Structure 1
């Protein structure tokens, strides 16, 4: 999509879910001044959100993770099951990393820390609306730790084995070394530019910020991301960064 087309696009329809009325009012005040964002509804609970979303059908939902009764994770599961086109951005705090992980697994497209500046929120809304995933650098390392400790099933699934000893014995036939040092060759190696972009993503840089840093268009950044996803056999930023770290292509 060209910059002209983006500029002439209708505003992004946003629905905000926050149980604290004071915080909700502040969020609305921050967002309503942006002409490319249209607030089409709000809710103070997960239950109310599901009722209203069925009528409003927003493009993006800003969802508080710490809702009473029905949690933000449960809301995410319900919304993505019924309206998969609705992108969800989670609002979280530092000590909710386990819940953030569950929300991402449930279908959330990203997360923001409470208190994030308005321009960053707007950028994140545009990012997920365009099909991207938002990674905040403050939580990226902690979130990635969860992904990295999950066992890699390998090319052929096997039946569950007995618990491994504290120090696992080396395999009888170690894999042949590869350029990335992981023992797992890529289908196609990443180019220098793709590796550079993947490293920026790992640091929490958005598409727009990466475009400015590298003096490229946002369309070019998106194309590079598509190539990265295909080569790493992943579907989003979190998975791409995780695979990049696991294969020794980047570091955080």
Structure 2
């Protein structure tokens, strides 16, 4: 069965060119074109396409905001960005909003069709330049020290404090349970934060639970 898609694109020549190409592509059925996010939000829930091609630069609500809303209203819908913008912050904002992939408008139509099929099959298609930017971003991130990665740097007492923190006990209560002063609990807590490379109780507990699994 052809993949049922819709476009959210305000550039009429671009939308028309894509529609004409998709009409010749047996793998795709383009069921609608929406010139703005507001109209798309009204009509897409009833239309229920499988995938949306979404531009970022829309007249009022932008495409990233639209994706964030439509994936909440229509769980399971796929949103594939198709835009001229290649800035790294926009790429990550779109992906965090719920986009499954990111293509530039210079992508040839047959590659857009292939990307739609890839997304439908569970992939996350990206224009090669975009994929390289994503990889470069992560390569530039600092690597945590071994103790932060493995959790092996925590002492038995620090692990005991962290176990109690994870159960929701206050510092004073932890001190009473362990037979130590609140000052000592604070000292253990500072060392835990340093070793796990975190800044809050919630982050420490989340990382500790991840390490313990």
TM-score range normalised by the length of the shorter chain: 0.5 to 0.7
Q: What is the root-mean-square deviation of aligned Cα atoms in Å?
A: 2.0
Alpha-carbon spacing, 1:33–1:149, altered in 2? closer, same or farther (3 Å) = same
Q: Deviations over 1:36-66 (max 9, x none)?
A: 2111111000111111211111111000011
Alpha-carbon spacing, 1:145–1:26, altered in 2? closer, same or farther (3 Å) = same
Q: Report deviation, 1:150.
A: 5.0
Alpha-carbon spacing, 1:94–1:67, altered in 2? closer, same or farther (3 Å) = closer
2:52 match: 61
Q: Contact 1:94–1:139 (CA<8 Å) still a contact in 2?
A: no
2:157 match: none
1:79 match: 70
1:108 match: 99
Distance across 1 between alignment mates of 2:13 and 2:3: 24
TM (normalized to structure 2)? Answer: 0.65
Alpha-carbon spacing, 1:77–1:149, altered in 2? closer, same or farther (3 Å) = farther
TM (normalized to structure 1)? Answer: 0.55
1:127 is the counterpart of 2:118: yes
Q: Which of 28, 31, 44 is matched with 1:40 structurally?
A: 31
Q: Report deviation, 1:82.
A: 1.7
Extract unaligned runs of 5+ from structure 1: 1-9, 162-252
Alpha-carbon spacing, 1:77–1:147, altered in 2? closer, same or farther (3 Å) = farther
Alpha-carbon spacing, 1:20–1:160, altered in 2? closer, same or farther (3 Å) = same
Distance across 2 between alignment mates of 1:110 and 1:50: 20
Alpha-carbon spacing, 1:140–1:51, altered in 2? closer, same or farther (3 Å) = same
Extract unaligned runs of 5+ from structure 2: 152-195, 201-213
1:28 match: 19
Distance across 2 between alignment mates of 1:25 and 1:52: 20
Q: Contact 2:103–2:130 (CA<8 Å) still a contact in 1?
A: no
Alpha-carbon spacing, 1:97–1:32, altered in 2? closer, same or farther (3 Å) = farther
Q: Report deviation, 1:90.
A: 0.3
Q: Report deviation, 1:143.
A: 2.2
Alignment size in residue pairs: 152
Q: Report deviation, 1:149.
A: 4.5
Q: Report deviation, 1:94.
A: 4.8
Q: Report deviation, 1:159.
A: 3.8
Distance across 2 between alignment mates of 1:149 and 1:103: 20
Q: Which of 11, 25, 32 is matched with 2:2 structurally?
A: 11
1:160 match: 199
Q: Contact 2:86–2:130 (CA<8 Å) still a contact in 1?
A: no
Q: Which of the pair has more CA radius of gyration?
A: 2
Q: Contact 1:41–1:52 (CA<8 Å) still a contact in 2?
A: no
Q: Map of 1:213-252 to 2, 5 A cutoff?
A: none
